[in-house]
């Protein structure tokens, strides 16, 4: 299999499907309250983890492909709002094409990370390292939040979006 930046669009789509599955499991167990569950008190709640998944899976491919940025999702949605945002993210990804990513691997991209950090990196590095690592972190944190609250999920639930 040839790997290109566009390959990550499918990966991100799978991560969106996994987030949707985890949200279903959380809502089954705790209703709307699940969105405010935290792994520990000083960490962001499930709603924040879902917001990051919704935003990173759309914004980073758009940045890397040089496309207009879609509107960001905020973390104050209810379960139905997050479900809709996840559907929108999957639809956005489905509309992207390989041609939009051709030749973009080494295009310099500068992005502010906070605390005065504003690195310029090749676009491919932003997508394959920064965005992907963050997505796995926030999905794993969502999984950990649900497990800590007693939701009956296991490692296969992290592959709900497919292998």
Task: Assign residue 33 the CATH number of its domain.
Answer: 1.20.120.450
Residues 20 and 83: their CA atoms lie apart, in Å, by 7
The answer to whether position 14 is within a domain reads: yes
The answer to whether position 69 is within a domain reads: yes
Residue 1's pLDDT is what? Answer: 61
Residue 115's pLDDT is what? Answer: 87
The answer to whether position 1 is within a domain reads: no
Name which of 23, 51, 63, 47 is nearest 161 in CA terms. Answer: 23
The answer to whether position 2 is within a domain reads: no
* Residue 2 banded pLDDT, cuts 50, 70, 90: low
The chain-wide mean pLDDT, for the chain, equals 96
Residue 95's pLDDT is what? Answer: 98
For residue 28, CA distances in Å to 49, 90, 142, 157 come to 18, 22, 15, 14
* Residue 162 banded pLDDT, cuts 50, 70, 90: confident
Out of 3-7, 39-43, 120-124, pick the least confident.
3-7
Domain enclosing residue 32, as ranges: 7-96+105-110+118-159
The answer to whether position 64 is within a domain reads: yes
The structural domain count of the chain equals: 1
Residues 66 and 137: their CA atoms lie apart, in Å, by 25
Q: How confident is the model over 89-144, as pLDDT tens digits? A: 999 999 999 999 999 999 999 999 988 899 999 999 999 999 999 999 999 999 99
Helices (H), the chain: 7-30, 46-65, 79-94, 123-125, 132-148
The answer to whether position 65 is within a domain reads: yes
**Number of residues written out for the chain:** 163
The answer to whether position 79 is within a domain reads: yes
pTM surpassing 0.75? Answer: yes
Residue 63's pLDDT is what? Answer: 97
- Would you give the distance in Å from CA 5 to the centre of its chain? 16
């Amino acid at each position: 299999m040839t790997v290109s930046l566009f390959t990550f669009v499918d990966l991100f789509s799978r991560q969106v499907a996994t987030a949707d599955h985890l949200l279903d499991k959380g809502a089954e167990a705790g209703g709307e309250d699940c969105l405010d569950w935290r792994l520990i008190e000083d960490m962001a709640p499930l709603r924040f983890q879902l917001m990051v998944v919704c935003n990173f899976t759309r914004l980073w491919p758009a940045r890397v492909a040089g496309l207009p940025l879609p509107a960001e999702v905020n973390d104050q949605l209810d379960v139905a709002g997050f479900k809709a945002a996840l559907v929108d993210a999957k639809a956005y990804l489905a509309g992207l094409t390989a041609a939009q990513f051709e030749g973009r691997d080494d295009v310099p991209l500068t992005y502010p990370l906070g605390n005065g950090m504003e690195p310029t990196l090749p676009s491919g590095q932003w997508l394959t390292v920064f965005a992907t690592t963050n997505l796995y972190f926030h999905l794993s944190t969502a999984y950990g939040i649900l497990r800590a609250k007693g939701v009956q999920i296991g490692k296969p639930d992290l592959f709900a979006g497919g292998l």
